[in-house]
Structure 1
Amino acid sequence: MKKFLLLFFLAGTTCGHAQDIMVTELEFMGLKRTKESFLRRLVKVRPNTPYDSLKVVGDVERLKRLPGIANASHEVKAENDNVIVKYIIEENFTLIPGLRIATANDGSFAYRVSAFEFNLFGNNQLLGGFYERNVFDSYGFFWEHPFLFSDKVGIGFGYQNVTTQEPIFFEEGDKDYRFNSEMFEGKLIFSFSFNHEAEIGASLVKESYLFEGEDPLPNRPLELEADKIMYRLAYRYVDLDIDYQYFDGVLSEFTGQYIQFLNGDEPAENFLKSFLSLRNDFIHYKKLGKKGNWASRFRLAAAIGNEDSPFAPFTLDNQLNIRGVGNTVDRGTAAIVLNTEYRHTFYEKGWFVVQGNAFVDAGSWRTPGEDFSQLFDGSSTRLYPGLGIRFIHKRIFNAVFRLDYGFGIGNDTTNGIVFGIGQYF
């Protein structure tokens, strides 16, 4: 009878602290690679403090967001008028190889291979790198420790040397350039609370464009070189309930960058100007029934200070915004993009899931030299509905193998297959 009264009292504590019920012990079950000491730093429930069911629920959701954890739940056990809180953990496999296959802008075979560990040393450090062949060779390395200094502050570093063939869209026509960017990045990572995260960082970049091909355009540069520094601020609001492949809630991410060119040759000073880049992604997820998930992403992006430069920062691309449109089809100095899709689980057994999806991708771009009104006049609008399939491993972090086919609507449109790892958004 005493235990029944205690559990009845616990059920009524969802709006505040239980003054008489204390957490006498905190336990973690199911840990293999993840360090218990690391999780104790992150959770808000502490031994010898009043029991708060809202904190327990919040801890479970935060644990489920960690790359090293596939799922989490909790149990509350009554003991001598107090409670023992148990967190039951199901870990992810976190050493993830990656492969992306595409067609390069010159029609050749392009690929990207990578390997990332998302739970290094059992405290959710990230370590990894990639090699890419996209006409030319590219590579990069990354390390992040989001909780190095405390449960709220971490750090990250990265190096990339990227060389690609990029089409640049001049008024007289598009021409291919060999683009190279060598970048060193450092950043501070903040987890202010359960819902609020931020990053502040800077990157030193050495950038160049070299004309590739025949018949250069008159009065257009054959080569550009410049050094620049990029200051970056990112803020995320996260309110998600995650249950394996199902998401419910919202995520909003704002990214602001100021790109300052430090020095360059004379052509670079005319075409590569310092500018401010702003982008916000608002993502909404809704669980529908037992097997459905509706997901939508609304993106707004704008560049201020380089409105006339053909070397615009926002690209129209298969992998970034419109599935089926092709690789680097166009560039813009502002963009509005809406991606919406319905995901349905057709088969699920143990760790394996087969999920299908039907989507609509739509967007418009402001081309260099045009006004913001171009975003709404229909001249640069793209509309691509499509279908896709997902093969999901529930216990490997981000192990979603996706294949989508987008159908272009309108004149001079294309159709195309897009392959990747991880959900599109």
Structure 2
Amino acid sequence: MKVNKSIFIIPFLLLVSFIHAQENQITKVKIKGHKRLKISYLQSVILTQKNKPLDSLKIEEDIIFLKRLPAISNVSYQVNKIQENNYEVLFTIEENFTIIPEINLWTTTNNQFSYKLGLYDYNFLGRNITFGGFYQNNGFDSYAINFRAPNLFSKKWGVAINHQDWKSEEPLYFGDKTANYLYNNISFEVLALHQINLKNSFDFGFNFFSEKYKYLSGATDASIPQNLDLDKILLKLVYSYDSLNYFFQYVTGFKSVLYAQYVITENDFQNDFLIAWNDFFYYRRIGAKGNWANRLRFGLSSNDKTPFAPFALDNNINLRGVGILVDRGTGSIVLNTEYRHTIYDKGWLAIQTNMFTDAGSWRNPGGELNDFFKEKNIRIYSGIGLRFISKKIYNATFRIDYGFSLLNSKNNSKGGLVFGIGQYF
């Protein structure tokens, strides 16, 4: 007997149509609270879309993504039923002020008065674009122009373009001797930015730069040139895994950022070299007002025996209290851990105290991996600090820390104050 297939197909199609009709659908997506942010931009980067099934997981993912934007301090949402199986999703945004001036004043070791003036918009054109630059005078003129648009082409693809002309007086170390050089780096960089998903992203591209070293003062050595002019090409890759969640000044979760750079150069003094380091971050809320923050950095580079080694030991980079550019190496292990406690939180202002410990060790240029475990290369500093945080201005955290050495060694400074903008990590 021949069976009519339509007897089975038609009921099946009707069943599928019935199930689809029972799905909760989004008929409206509304966003309120935005000021400078363009509504067209916000609609293009969220997963929650009109005429799509209502999905609470996608809404939560949108909340995390939006909180990470510099222009947004906090986001909440509501799901409102319009009629049977039809819903409206309402996002309520609290915007940050994102046009931030940069003003730094300091004196160098030779009592040179120095200053840095800059201006950055972290929400240029209302589309999550960072654009700005700075001028610096520390006895020498420096400047930079930076453009970063992570969603320029789509939610997943963007571009960064940077130009810098940097000059600074830097100490170079060879044996027990020290010399001061004028260092000048002129660079042009283009990076492609790709977001795989909410947690994973890549930056990759090229940096064309020239480095110039000019002897100023201090010890000399026949093997160390007093003037260098080097043209180089840098291939750059940054891979980020980010599962952090933000609630104003509080952070929770884990983040890992891998930086890999291969520098190509043609000269008799330096070889091509590879440098890579990974930053691991872990944050945890402690009670209602506490935040435990940690950063572990491990890095290695080509192990050339040169005073121009890439990893620097410095107050503003790794160890609070150690001093400014006190040593260099071809490898680095640094652990920063601190407990932040909010003592005031009202309106736009929050104040935090913090207790920290920074510990690190270095591989000497041309040295061995066991250099990390040598007493003379180990530094441990601890201290306390204050944070003054604006909850309405992006990255407007003024920090002051005092760090002191926990080791009695002639290689360690006794300690000192460290100022900065933004959390240390």
Q: Same fold (TM over 0.5)?
A: yes
CA distance in 2, matches of 1:19, 1:59: 24
CA distance in 2, matches of 1:102, 1:372: 36
AA matched with 1:69 = I
Partners of 1:104 and 1:135 within 8 A in 2? no
AA matched with 2:164 = Q
Match of 1:154 in 2: 158
Partners of 1:114 and 1:130 within 8 A in 2? yes
AA matched with 1:73 = S
Match of 2:417 in 1: 417
Answering whether residue 223 of structure 2 is matched by residue 219 of structure 1, we say: yes
Match of 1:187 in 2: 191
Answering whether residue 79 of structure 2 is matched by residue 76 of structure 1, we say: yes
> Structure 1 unaligned runs (5+)?
1-16
Q: Note the C-alpha offset of 1:20.
A: 1.6
Match of 2:30 in 1: 27
CA distance in 2, matches of 1:346, 1:222: 52
Match of 1:318 in 2: 315
Q: Note the C-alpha offset of 1:357.
A: 0.5
Select 1:109's aligned residue among 109, 113, 129: 113
Partners of 2:172 and 2:181 within 8 A in 1? yes
CA distance in 1, matches of 2:292, 2:284: 5
AA matched with 2:348 = W
CA distance in 1, matches of 2:282, 2:358: 15
Partners of 2:178 and 2:219 within 8 A in 1? no
Match of 2:180 in 1: 176
Match of 2:139 in 1: 135
Match of 1:12 in 2: none
Match of 1:380 in 2: 377
Partners of 1:239 and 1:251 within 8 A in 2? yes
Match of 1:6 in 2: none
Secondary structure at the aligned position of 1:213 is classed as strand
What is the CA RMSD across the aligned residues, in angstroms?
1.5
Select 1:285's aligned residue among 267, 283, 286: 283
Given the superposition, is the C-alpha separation of residues 257 and 25 from structure 1 closer, same or farther in structure 2, using an over 3 Å criterion?
A: same
Partners of 1:18 and 1:52 within 8 A in 2? no
The more displaced of 192-201 and 98-107 is: 98-107
Secondary structure at the aligned position of 2:370 is classed as helix
Answering whether residue 49 of structure 2 is matched by residue 49 of structure 1, we say: no
Given the superposition, is the C-alpha separation of residues 18 and 46 from structure 1 closer, same or farther in structure 2, using an over 3 Å criterion?
A: farther
Partners of 1:106 and 1:135 within 8 A in 2? no
Given the superposition, is the C-alpha separation of residues 214 and 91 from structure 1 closer, same or farther in structure 2, using an over 3 Å criterion?
A: closer
CA distance in 1, matches of 2:301, 2:184: 21
The more displaced of 173-182 and 211-220 is: 211-220
Q: How does 1:321-360 map to 2 (within 5 A)?
A: 321-360=318-357
Aligned residue pair count: 402
Partners of 2:180 and 2:218 within 8 A in 1? no
CA displacement, residues 239-269 of structure 1 (integer Å, 9 cap, x when unaligned): 01100000000111000000111x34xxxx2
Select 2:167's aligned residue among 163, 170, 178: 163
Answering whether residue 205 of structure 2 is matched by residue 207 of structure 1, we say: no
Partners of 1:346 and 1:354 within 8 A in 2? yes
Q: Note the C-alpha offset of 1:144.
A: 1.4
Match of 2:3 in 1: none
Q: Note the C-alpha offset of 1:134.
A: 2.6
Q: Note the C-alpha offset of 1:18.
A: 11
CA distance in 1, matches of 2:21, 2:236: 43
Secondary structure at the aligned position of 1:327 is classed as coil
Given the superposition, is the C-alpha separation of residues 349 and 92 from structure 1 closer, same or farther in structure 2, using an over 3 Å criterion?
A: same
Larger radius of gyration: 2
Answering whether residue 397 of structure 2 is matched by residue 400 of structure 1, we say: yes
Partners of 1:234 and 1:255 within 8 A in 2? yes
Partners of 2:178 and 2:218 within 8 A in 1? no
Match of 1:11 in 2: none
AA matched with 2:183 = F
> Structure 2 unaligned runs (5+)?
1-19
CA distance in 2, matches of 1:19, 1:389: 55
Select 2:296's aligned residue among 291, 295, 298: 298
Partners of 1:25 and 1:85 within 8 A in 2? yes
Q: Note the C-alpha offset of 1:214.
A: 5.2
Secondary structure at the aligned position of 2:375 is classed as coil
CA displacement, residues 166-224 of structure 1 (integer Å, 9 cap, x when unaligned): 11110141111111110011111111111111100111111111111255233321111
